[in-house]
Amino acid sequence: MPRQLIIDDKLRLRGDSQTRLNIEGALGEIKRHYSDRFDGIALDTTNRWATSLPGTADTIAISEVQGGEVLITTGTADDDSCMLSSAIIFSADKAAIFEVKLLITDVSGTAVFAGFTDAKTESNNSIAIHYASDALTTVASNAAGFVIDADHATSSIMCEGVKANTDATSVDTGVDWADGEAHILRCVLDVDGNATFYLDNGLVGAVTGFVADAVTDSTLLCFSVQAMTRANDGANTVRVQRYDAWQDE
């Protein structure tokens, strides 16, 4: 048996591996791994997650559905915003990665940012990156992530970055997010602050998933899902079904 096994894609255990324990010994991950499946009784807002609810009647809470999830309900007033954020512990110079699975109930009435950003919260009527009145608006000084916004001319899933208040070139995935649809979003930062984006386990386009100069490499970031009411269509929901992040030690 070789001392090092290289697998380019994924490891799949077949046969009766699903019916019994199948790992002997300690499995030690070299990268630090942060994960939440939201399977607790209540969201841990003391030690794990920071929530900001500056709008009217907006809520963020565990929803006891199959497998567990966080249910974000946006405020009732137009442009009300709310945020669910981790600690500010990630950075490009540690090759940070996030992956999140989201479901948006009503795309035509919602704006969503999911990604790394330099602040856990923004003021009401703002999220880290959005398309206010169809204009790219970067509220954060450093951030990289996905944006879906009803104020945008299309419902395309956009890949965005902002580095030291300079906007990166936007990349359109060419995929429209449909009502009630879930997608898996992944962003990989490299040590130079560039970002590579993946949608539903595939690279965005052949090479277009690459966003140069997405963030400042040394800036500390949190992972955040931020949602905003659009078109006066209040109390829309975003369901965060799972979250993972990795970075070098």
Per-domain residue ranges for the chain?
33-247
What pLDDT, on the 0 to 100 scale, is given for residue 1? Answer: 62
For 14-63, the DSSP string reads -GGGGGS----S----SSEEEEE---SSS--TTTT-EEE--SSS-EEEEE
What pLDDT, on the 0 to 100 scale, is given for residue 200? Answer: 96
- The topology under which CATH files domain 33-247 is Jelly Rolls (2.60.120)
207 three-state secondary structure: coil
Q: With CA atoms as reference, report the closest residue to 158 among 126, 136, 190, 133.
A: 136
Residues 6+ apart with CB under 8 A from 30: 248, 249
- Residue 42 near residue 208 (C-beta atoms within 8 A): no
Q: How far is CA 137 from CA 52, 166, 168, in A?
A: 20, 11, 12
pLDDT in tens, the chain (249 residues): 678 888 888 888 887 777 788 888 888 888 999 999 999 999 999 999 999 999 999 999 999 999 999 999 999 999 999 999 999 999 999 999 999 999 999 999 999 999 999 999 999 999 999 999 999 999 999 999 999 999 999 999 999 999 999 999 999 999 999 999 999 999 999 999 999 999 999 999 755 689 999 999 999 999 999 999 998 888 899 999 999 999 999
What pLDDT, on the 0 to 100 scale, is given for residue 206? Answer: 58
What pLDDT, on the 0 to 100 scale, is given for residue 9? Answer: 80
What pLDDT, on the 0 to 100 scale, is given for residue 207? Answer: 58
